[in-house]
A and B are shown apart, each in its own frame.
Chain A
Amino acid sequence: MRALDRKLLRDLWHMRGQVMAIAAVIMGGVATLVMSLSTYDSLVSTRDRFYSEYRFAEVFASLKRAPEPVAERLRALPGVEHLETRVRAGVKLEVAGFNDPITGLMLSLPDSRNPVLNGLHFKRGSLPQPYSADEVVVADSFADAHGMQPGDTLVAIIMGKRKVLTIAGIAVSPEYIYQIAPGSMFPDFKRYGVLWMRRSGLAAAYGMEGAFNQASLTLARGAHEQDVIDRADMILAPYGGTGAYGRADQFSNRFLSEELKQLQTTATIFPAIFLGVAAFLLNVVVSRLIALQREQIAILKAFGYRYPAIGWHYVKLVLLMVLLGVAGGVALGAWFGQGLSNVYMETTFRFPYLDYQLKASVILIALGVSVAAAVSGTLYSVARAVRLPAAEGMRPEMPEAYRATLVERIGLQRWLDAPTRMILRHLERRPLKSMLTVLGIACACGLMMVGNYQKGAIDFMVDLQFRQAAREDLALTFIEPTSGRALHELTALPGVEFVEGFRDVPAILHFGHYSYRSAIYGIPAEGQLHRSLDRALQPVAMPPGGVVLTEHLARNILHVKPGDVLTVEVLEGRRPVRQVPVLGITQQYLGLSAYMQRDSLNTLMREGDVVSGAYLAIRPGAEAAVYARLNDRPRVLSMVANASAIESFYDTIGEFVLFYNLVATLLAGAIGFGVVYNSARISLSERGRELASLRVLGFGRGEIAYILLGELALLTLVAIPVGFLVGTGLVGILVQAFKNDLYRLPLILKPDNFAMGALVVVVSALLSGLLMWFRLGRLDMVAVLKTRE
């Protein structure tokens, strides 16, 4: 090993504390990048592989009922490759020992073979016996939530008839990676289950013998999706078709895409912030570190080393720190990434396997950014040091020129003792350095606030959604639109306190070339249970004659404002197309909805007093009895209980929030500590001689600590409010970036967000201060008498 390289390793060992702090900062930035991008890549790759291995269909069509021969006409359409029909039945389920209402969806499997499209990946067990009428395959999410195994039984209520079914297998389907019960807002694996049964058995129970009510198909190479959809719609219209749609509108796939899009945003924004902060710190710290090596550089120059050789020497020094940080970051990020992917797998996406991917390009980006930041900081300082004549470099630097600070010039100096003046002048002498330090600390504070923001925002959303807007205890859906008289029966049930009927009509909303496939909800004008909220989040009466849209739907998807007229393509009944004015905007953070007065919607549909379902307020304690009664009613298709919806939402989201909090705390802590410790450490190197001189003159350790740490404390205090601004700004960016169909985050920052941000900074500062305190105890007083630097 060459002598210079040996010096390099010793230098590194000598400044190991700083090396660790710098590496920690890089590690934070790199870990976020690797975690986010690898999770994104993994989920996308897993999805694509699963879709293709299990032949996920490309076009889906639902209808009321068509005789099987109609399928031949669909198959004959140009552009259709494979087509499969099936029976799809909404059912209610009962699981022994579980009393909440469970909504189920049963799908038919071909009687004697595997399905051609939308194949099942079996986790346990296998397909039911051919033509079996009492065996089912259960989605693994539902089976896992209830601890079911093949051989167990459950009860399905199909068209009001109870049927005991035995579980033959537990499987995952590409169609139901993301599962949400109709009318629900979040996945609830306990209260929503997807089941598969052999076709003849299900058709018999559901009255669909010789007929189908759903078709899925794949497209031939080069086929145009919209053409196939249009032609299929024409064929199916007489059979109650509700409009065929492509993968983009397939429920699970659409939500999956939304989630992935969002993850991609996270994977871009967060690491960009983190890596940006890390790179900036790295640059500052490295350039100050090299500036301290001035004398050594002069000596190397005196030996005859040239700039490139000296530059390369220091670049190697810095690269070793960077490599340490990047290696740690990649390892930590891969670990976090697998953790995050698994959280996704357990809570949101039911992929049968995970294709964990860590692409080389991700590591290269991380390495590239870190290296660029570090090397530029190094070369800048080395170039400055090299420019000095060697002899001058070895001479001590002239005392730096200081002047009285602003505070003193305006006459406050009487109250400042000499150490305090030293602090103020030192800060004012290097305003840029002080500002950069403040900014670095502020970033740690801001990042912590971002990490903690979600919890408060979610609490706020849930409170608004379930305690202000959707205040019903139970939302039930009828099998098909029903006369409003059904509400009287519900009101008469013991335990039911209040009933409000709603009408929902599936429809595509068009405005210009924008469109959105959704449903229009008809609710009472001045409902007590389900209400529309205005921008000030106050409940407002539903105006007659037009629609009120969720803000995100109006502004960002359909690009309409009140007064514009929408074209509404109804996907039910005779599928009329109507012109409907937009009357207002409603503030809603969860889901996207179009609301109308129920009377107006009934009028639009040219129907009388018709409801699709009802919102119920139930007397506390009477829930189980009401559920049991409603379970037995054949016309009740599904029930969603509000309380269980909130609970399941928290279950789902809780793990994410915990995970993000953990990551954010670790990273903000790493950055906070990295900045504060490095600032203190470099300050000590720069001023060690000054402080040791004061020690010789009789200053105590506490008194010199005041000078060194007082400066740091002042910077930290200034950084906290700046950090609040940074945090608020970052949350604002996040809110903008995360607007999607599923939810919009409210810009809500609570006192505890600010407190956590400040706390991480204060703790980092205290920890650094403590380490500095020990270092100050080891200041070499004897050396300052003799040596210059």
Chain B
Amino acid sequence: MNRTHDQANAVFVAHGLSKIYHMGEVEVHALRGIDLTLYRGELVVLLGPSGSGKSTLLNILGGLDAPSGGEVRYLDHMLTGASESELTRFRREHVGFVFQFYNLIPSLTARENVAAVTEIASSPMRPEEALDLVGLGNRLDHFPAQLSGGEQQRVAIARAVAKNPAVLLCDEPTGALDSSTGVVVLEVLEKVNRELGTLTVLITHNAGIADMADRVIRLSDGQIADIHRNDHKRAASELSW
């Protein structure tokens, strides 16, 4: 894939991001001056041990948390300093989330879990289409309790992409799955990234997954330790851990 690293293709641009948590009398520096640009269509893996700040970074990009310092821009919107309702609208229109524990609504079927999001989005795909994309076109009317963990996570991915988001943020999407089921989920993410061209940011502490990324960003102690471009990406199906 030919990438032009110019500003026109930038989705997120972050400058000097820092985040300090106050835990009682202790100050925790979760991020210490992050500069980062993420581009359209990329599949990026954020790699790092726990406590390295990768989740904090993801939360700030997703509009769930505000940085203590620095700024972050999404296309031409400044996310830093945005109000609660502006951030809600940002998540609703542009961001797809995939959680480690799926977080499906147990009282809604697969189709309805997706519909819950498409009902409030401005130009979504049909829920059936999204579920087809993740290979669950035949499980539309199953409730979460009737699906395996891997299937539940694929519903969650369908739910995240159905609104046609500009960015898909995945926090340890395979963390609760065994290796072979995890690979199936990763294949789906890879397919979404390829077919829809959605910027996909994937958090993991599993270095084995990094091989499927266009770029791997290593975080350590709240700072970017290293950005590495994969010249030879491997297909998700070739991964194992």
Contact = CB atoms under 8 A, between A and B. Distances in A.
Interface stretch (A79-87, A334-342, A418-426, A621-629): A418-426
Given A698-B117, A785-B99, A690 B105 contact: yes
A182 B151 CA distance: 88
Nearest to A423: B107
Interface in A389-403: 396, 398-403
A399 B64 contact: no
B100 interface: yes
A72 interface: no
A418 B127 CA distance: 12
Contact of B112 (A398, A421, A784, A786): A421
A491 B119 CA distance: 85
B207 interface: no
B16 interface: no
A204 interface: no
B62 interface: yes
Interface in B77-121: 85, 88-89, 91-93, 95, 97, 99-101, 103-109, 112-113, 115-117, 119-121
B107 A422 contact: yes
Contacts of B62: 696
A388 to B, nearest CB: 18
Nearest to A690: B105
B145 A419 contact: no
A418 B112 contact: yes
Nearest to B91: A698
B144 interface: yes
Contact of B106 (A402, A698, A701): A402
A785 B100 contact: yes
Interface centre among A418, A421, A422, A425 (most CB of B within 10 A): A418
A696 B91 CA distance: 7
B108 A700 contact: no
A491 to B, nearest CB: 82
Contact of A694 (B85, B95, B116, B145): B116
Given A419-B116, A696-B62, A697-B159, A784 B103 contact: yes
Contacts of B104: 399
Contacts of A399: 104, 106, 143-145, 152
A531 interface: no
Interface centre among B107, B116, B143 (most CB of A within 10 A): B107
Nearest to A427: B107
Nearest to A422: B107
Given A418-B112, A785-B99, A402 B145 contact: yes
A96 interface: no
A781 B88 CA distance: 11
A404 B108 CA distance: 9
Contact of A693 (B58, B99, B171): B99
B143 A402 contact: yes
Nearest to A402: B107
B178 interface: no
Nearest to A397: B106
A699 B112 CA distance: 15
B91 A697 contact: yes
Contacts of A404: 109
A689 B106 CA distance: 11
B206 interface: no
Contacts of B112: 418, 421
Nearest to A693: B103
Contacts of B89: 698
A421 B99 CA distance: 23
A396 B112 CA distance: 23
Interface residues of B, number: 41
Nearest to B160: A697
B65 interface: yes
B145 A785 contact: no
A429 interface: yes
B220 interface: no
Given A418-B108, A698-B93, A786-B171, A398 B116 contact: no
Nearest to B152: A399
A489 interface: no
Nearest to A417: B119
Given A399-B106, A786-B100, A418 B143 contact: no
A690 B116 contact: no
Nearest to A416: B112
Contacts of B109: 404
A483 to B, nearest CB: 87
B103 A700 contact: no
A400 B106 CA distance: 6
Contact of B120 (A422, A696, A703, A782): A703
B59 interface: yes
A788 interface: yes
B181 interface: no
A422 B92 contact: no
B223 interface: no
Contacts of A403: 143
A412 to B, nearest CB: 15
Interface in A669-711: 689-690, 693-701, 703
B157 to A, nearest CB: 13
Nearest to B90: A698
B145 A398 contact: yes
Nearest to A405: B107
A712 to B, nearest CB: 16
Interface in B190-210: none
Given A398-B145, A426-B107, A698-B91, A782 B101 contact: no
Contact of A781 (B64, B100, B120): B64
Interface string B46-62: 00000000010011001
Contacts of B171: 785-786
Contacts of A788: 101
Interface string B120-144: 1100000000000000000000011
Interface in B142-188: 143-146, 152, 159-160, 163, 171
Contacts of B101: 396, 788
B105 A400 contact: no
A418 to B, nearest CB: 4
B64 A401 contact: no
A788 B102 CA distance: 10
A788 B92 CA distance: 23
Contacts of B88: 695, 698-701
Contacts of A396: 101
Contacts of A693: 99, 103, 105
Given A402-B143, A696-B62, A786-B100, A418 B116 contact: yes
B204 to A, nearest CB: 13
Contacts of B107: 400, 402, 421-422, 425-426, 429
A398 B143 CA distance: 12
Interface string A777-789: 0000110111010
A781 B63 CA distance: 10
Contacts of B159: 697
A696 B143 contact: no
Nearest to A424: B107
A788 B152 CA distance: 15
B197 to A, nearest CB: 21
Contacts of A698: 88-89, 91-93, 95, 117, 120-121, 163
State the 3 A-B residue pairs at the shortest beta-carbon distance, nearest first: A698-B92, A418-B116, A693-B103
Interface of A: 396, 398-404, 417-419, 421-422, 425-426, 429, 689-690, 693-701, 703, 781-782, 784-786, 788
29 contacts: A398-B145, A400-B106, A400-B145, A401-B143, A402-B108, A418-B119, A419-B116, A421-B112, A422-B108, A422-B116, A425-B108, A693-B99, A693-B103, A696-B97, A696-B103, A697-B117, A697-B159, A699-B88, A699-B92, A699-B120, A700-B85, A700-B88, A701-B88, A782-B55, A785-B59, A785-B171, A786-B55, A786-B171, A788-B101
Interface of B: 55, 58-59, 62, 64-65, 85, 88-89, 91-93, 95, 97, 99-101, 103-109, 112-113, 115-117, 119-121, 143-146, 152, 159-160, 163, 171
